[in-house]
Chains A and B, each alone.
Chain A
């Protein structure tokens, strides 16, 4: 018999970061900031065929205060930029940002007076998704990328 036979409860030995990151990456709560057609594509991501709940991120919150994954899906105008900044600031740490589609990532073909040329002018972005709009698989791919990023993080770095 091993060591555990001397203890009343079974246990696992691991590192704190491993446990916390494991919990975080399989229970992301997305906040959809959908402003254009990419948000329509996101409906496909959430519903049955593609099913984002396979990755534990199906609990879509429409309050930034309850979310840790900001999905920016669509064109962000100069008029809306301070709103997006405020939404991001309202999210509690830890938090991650996915920029979905050409418009959110670079302004897309809206190289004009009214559109922000990529949301990284306003807020930090973890994963960019290419496409106009991207396929649902690409969004799932971005969520997997975020998971990979989370698993390399140190829990104490977030405050």
Chain B
């Protein structure tokens, strides 16, 4: 199944809930609202013909000040890169996030790696994930104020840490 076949199948099932689509040189992506995200990802993972069983990465985008982009209804996007180890194809899902008052549902129970990936997006962009078990900063230190990869963060503003961070051991988590 090619990526455009996946796109066709997603559009047939989700209809108008697909807010935007993208296809270029064999790569395809759809953008949805946060409330559609989990249903779409579960569909992509569990459909036997699509079987995107690996969440490769979760990334954030800040479109503040993006040129020729005045009609975009959201400032942030969260992008989920999916890959099928079984069928060797890829797909990309994006979520439009109007501002940081909007929460995106966490998918850490679908793919355990999303736990850390979502913490990184939270750390860098301040996007919160509803239902995340441990939404703390993962890269910047605990005394850091603001979110470093937002376009309105001063490009070389540095923040000192007063003492070494405590090493926090994770409690044992029962995976679903």
What number of B residues sit within 8 Å (CB to CB) of A? Answer: 17
Instruction: Known A113-B148, A114-B140, A114-B148; judge A82-B156 contact (CB<8 A).
Output: no
Interface centre among A82, A113, A114, A117 (most CB of B within 10 A): A113
Contact segment of B52-60, B66-74, B96-104, B158-166: B158-166
Asked if B157 lies at the interface with its beta carbon under 8 angstroms from chain A, I say yes
- A112 with B155: CB separation less than 8 A: yes
Instruction: Known A112-B155, A113-B158, A117-B158; judge A78-B141 contact (CB<8 A).
Output: yes
Pick from B156, B160, B163: contact of A78, CB under 8 Å: B160
Contact indicator per residue, chain A 103-120, by CB within 8 Å of chain B (1) or not (0): 000000001111111000
Instruction: Known A79-B141, A79-B165; judge A111-B156 contact (CB<8 A).
Output: yes
- B165 with A78: CB separation less than 8 A: no
Q: Kindly report which residue of chain B lies nearest to residue A79, judged by CB atoms.
A: B141
Docked Cα-Cα span, A113 to B159, in Å, equals 7
Q: In angstroms, how far is the closest chain A Cβ from the Cβ of B175?
A: 28
Asked if B153 lies at the interface with its beta carbon under 8 angstroms from chain A, I say yes
Q: Chain A contacts of B165 at CB under 8 A? A: 79
Q: Chain A contacts of B161 at CB under 8 A? A: 78-79, 81-82
Contact indicator per residue, chain A 78-122, by CB within 8 Å of chain B (1) or not (0): 110111001000000000000000000000000111111100000
- B155 with A82: CB separation less than 8 A: no
Q: Kindly report which residue of chain B lies nearest to residue A81, judged by CB atoms.
A: B161
20 sample A-B contacts, Cβ–Cβ < 8 Å, listed by A number: A78-B141, A78-B144, A78-B160, A79-B139, A79-B140, A79-B141, A79-B165, A82-B163, A83-B164, A86-B164, A112-B148, A113-B140, A113-B155, A113-B156, A113-B157, A113-B158, A113-B159, A114-B139, A114-B140, A115-B158
Q: Which residues of A are in contact with B by a Cβ distance under 8 Å?
A: 78-79, 81-83, 86, 111-117
What are the nearest 4 A-B pairs in CB distance?
Answer: A79-B141, A113-B148, A82-B164, A83-B164
